[in-house]
């Protein structure tokens, strides 16, 4: 039976401070965080085992009205990382993240880039080209057949998108995710334009004062990933308390990420783990077009 330690067993985990990891030749890298493990999943002892997840939870209340989760994910095969649309036949159709996760037998899932909500960028999912249209707002995460991450985050206005799409397919790119900003490349923090810049390109504000709920993904090493889901809250005075992109970027650097990118966030931010949403979404009924999945 696959082993799951959920929030129901959080107390036991906090008492021991230990995450029991199975034996095997894969998934033996140290966790990307220190401290107690809030929840974990480990099927490595099974003959067909391929997935190990450990989640850290930090609640900053009452000092701040915010919380975050760091998910350390190690897989045996790149096939454990995938994407899914709510409606594979129509990428613009939307549904609850938890329904996408359950329909695709996900162990862990987060909101992706909501590519069904716009008409720009090069969208490749599971090796299939869905769209190749001009964009100037977005950064691209590329995931190849070995599960490795790379970024395309230059001047997107210069893209020959039809040619780019074919180049990516010929290189074996399995998934592209279009959002941003890109946060980390080659283990180094990337600079990004702020809202005060005349050529600001991002679909969200990058001002350090802009506090939001955030979802982001990164890669630490081959087949070793980190997902961060950070929840914000509307305070009693009407202002938001959440996380800036600069804070999010630093979290990935602290985790040792070599590549990282911000995904859709705000009301879309959800963390699904083993049958339930475990974060505190600002909009539990928000529907999305697509999800990033480990299964």
pLDDT tens by residue, 36-81: 999 999 999 999 999 999 999 999 999 999 999 999 999 999 999 9
- pLDDT of 143 reads 98
Which of 116-120, 153-157, 218-222, 223-227 shows the lowest mean pLDDT across its residues? Answer: 153-157
CA distance 291 to 281: 15
Q: Residue 192: pLDDT band by 50, 70, 90 thresholds? A: confident
Is the pLDDT confidence value at 23 over 50? no
- 214 C-beta neighbours (distance < 10 Å), count: 25
Residue 29 lies in a domain: no
Residue 56 lies in a domain: no
Residue 260 lies in a domain: yes
Is the pLDDT confidence value at 16 over 90? no
Overall number of domains in the chain: 1
CA distance 120 to 6: 38
Q: What percent of the chain is predicted at pLDDT more than 70?
A: 89
- pLDDT of 239 reads 78
Q: What is the mean pLDDT of residues 145-152?
A: 98
- Residues 29, 75 contacting (CB under 8 angstroms): no
Residue 64 lies in a domain: no
Is the pLDDT confidence value at 224 over 70? yes
Residue 23 lies in a domain: no
Q: What is the pLDDT of residues 231-253, one digit of tens each?
A: 998 776 777 899 999 999 999 99
- pLDDT of 207 reads 81
Residue 142 lies in a domain: yes
Average pLDDT of the chain is 89
Residue 78 has phi, psi (to 5 degrees) of -60, -20
- Residues 61, 276 contacting (CB under 8 angstroms): no
Is the pLDDT confidence value at 3 over 50? no
CA distance 206 to 179: 13
Residue 55 lies in a domain: no
What DSSP designation does 39 have?
Answer: E
Residue 282 has phi, psi (to 5 degrees) of -75, -20
Q: What is the pLDDT of residues 258-294, one digit of tens each?
A: 999 999 999 999 999 999 999 999 999 999 999 999 9
- Residues 178, 115 contacting (CB under 8 angstroms): yes
Residue 134 lies in a domain: yes
CA distance 87 to 31: 34
- pLDDT of 19 reads 36
Q: Which domain holds residue 88?
A: 77-294
| Cα Rg of the chain, angstroms | 18
């Amino acid at each position: 039976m696959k082993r799951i330690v959920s929030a129901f067993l959080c107390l036991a985990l906090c008492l021991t401070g230990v995450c029991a990891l199975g034996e095997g030749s894969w998934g033996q890298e140290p966790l990307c965080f220190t401290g107690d493990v809030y929840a974990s999943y480990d099927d490595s002892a099974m003959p067909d085992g391929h997935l190990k997840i450990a989640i850290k939870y930090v609640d900053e209340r009452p000092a701040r009205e915010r919380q975050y989760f760091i998910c350390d994910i190690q897989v045996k095969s790149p096939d454990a990382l995938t994407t899914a649309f709510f409606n594979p036949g129509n990428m613009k159709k939307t549904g609850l993240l938890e329904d996408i996760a359950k329909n695709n037998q996900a162990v862990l899932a987060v909101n992706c880039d909501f590519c069904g909500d716009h008409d720009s960028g090069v969208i490749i999912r599971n090796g299939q080209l869905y769209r190749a249209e001009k964009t100037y707002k977005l950064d691209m995460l590329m995931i190849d057949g070995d599960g490795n991450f790379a970024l395309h985050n230059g001047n997107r206005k210069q893209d020959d998108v039809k040619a780019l799409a074919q180049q990516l397919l010929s290189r074996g790119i399995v998934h592209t995710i279009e959002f941003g900003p890109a946060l980390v490349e080659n283990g180094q923090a990337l600079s990004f334009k702020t809202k005060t810049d005349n050529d600001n390109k991002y679909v969200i504000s990058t001002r350090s004062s802009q506090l939001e709920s955030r979802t982001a993904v990164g890669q630490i090493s081959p087949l070793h990933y980190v997902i961060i889901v950070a929840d914000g809250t509307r305070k009693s005075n009407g202002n938001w308390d959440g996380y800036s992109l600069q804070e999010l970027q630093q979290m990935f650097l602290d985790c040792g990420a070599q590549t990282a990118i911000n995904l859709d966030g705000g009301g879309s931010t959800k963390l699904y783990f083993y049958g339930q949403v475990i974060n505190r979404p600002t909009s539990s009924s928000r529907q999305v077009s697509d999800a990033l999945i480990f299964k």
